[in-house]
Amino acid sequence: MLYFRKISHYVVDVMMDEKDESILKVISRRSGMSSRKLSGMLSIPISTVHRRIKKFEDEGVITGYKALIDYQDTPWPIGALLLVDLMEVIPGKGHIPKAEIIKLLSNFREIEEIIDVQAAEFDLVLKARFRTLRLLSDFIEKLRDIEGIEETKSAVITDERTLRPNIVVRMK
């Protein structure tokens, strides 16, 4: 299967076979899995697993690893998805680039993910964590004060499920 990856401002072709796809699918959902266990699960030699993961890291396909957390057992049990609509033009100032707003939003400790989307009614989806609903409400007010943000909508996360990895292909 052919994938495209952007490097700087150029798009380059990246060829991935079934082994690559299987490795990425599993570690995207279980990043803490040992190479030995992954090797056994996919019936791929451990040296191949190590080599391919290292290649993905070197090429920037894998940019880091993340723990999957049950937030109900933490001080931040309230999760929210915040839909952010950006202004096209600010009167007297013109256009504020989306990249500048994303950079500003990246500084908020409450935000754990920023997703840039192409949608009819919003431009960004933020996934954020809070100790209380009151703090969520206060945070939404902070967002409304940011120059360039026109409107926000929110959805409280009532349940999150981390999917277990499916074995894409069992190698032989």
What CATH number is associated with residue 31? 1.10.10.10
Residue 86 lies in a domain: yes
User: Taking the CA of residue 105 as centre, how many other CA atoms within 13 Å lie in the half-sphere pointing to its CB?
Assistant: 30
Residue 163 lies in a domain: no
| Residue range 20-37, pLDDT digits in tens | 988 998 888 888 888 999
| Residue range 76-113, pLDDT digits in tens | 999 999 999 999 877 888 888 899 999 999 999 999 99
Note whether 26 and 94 are same-domain residues.
no
What's the Cα-to-Cα distance from 24 to each of 55, 165, 167, rounded to whole Å?
12, 10, 10
Residue 44 lies in a domain: yes
Note whether 151 and 75 are same-domain residues.
yes
Taking a C-beta distance cutoff of 8 angstroms, is the pair 140, 81 a contact? no
CATH number of the CATH domain containing 88: 3.30.70.920
Note whether 92 and 145 are same-domain residues.
yes
Residues in the chain: 172
> SS3 of 140, please?
helix
Tally of domains in the chain: 2
pLDDT at 171: 53
Q: Which residue has the higher pLDDT, 31 or 59?
A: 59
Q: CA-CA distance, 46 to 61, in Å (whole number)?
A: 20
State whether the Cα torsion 130-134-136-141 is positive or negative.
negative
Q: Which residue range forms the structural domain that includes residue 117? A: 71-157
Note whether 46 and 75 are same-domain residues.
no
Residue 64 lies in a domain: no
Would the pTM of this model clear 0.75, i.e. be above it?
A: no
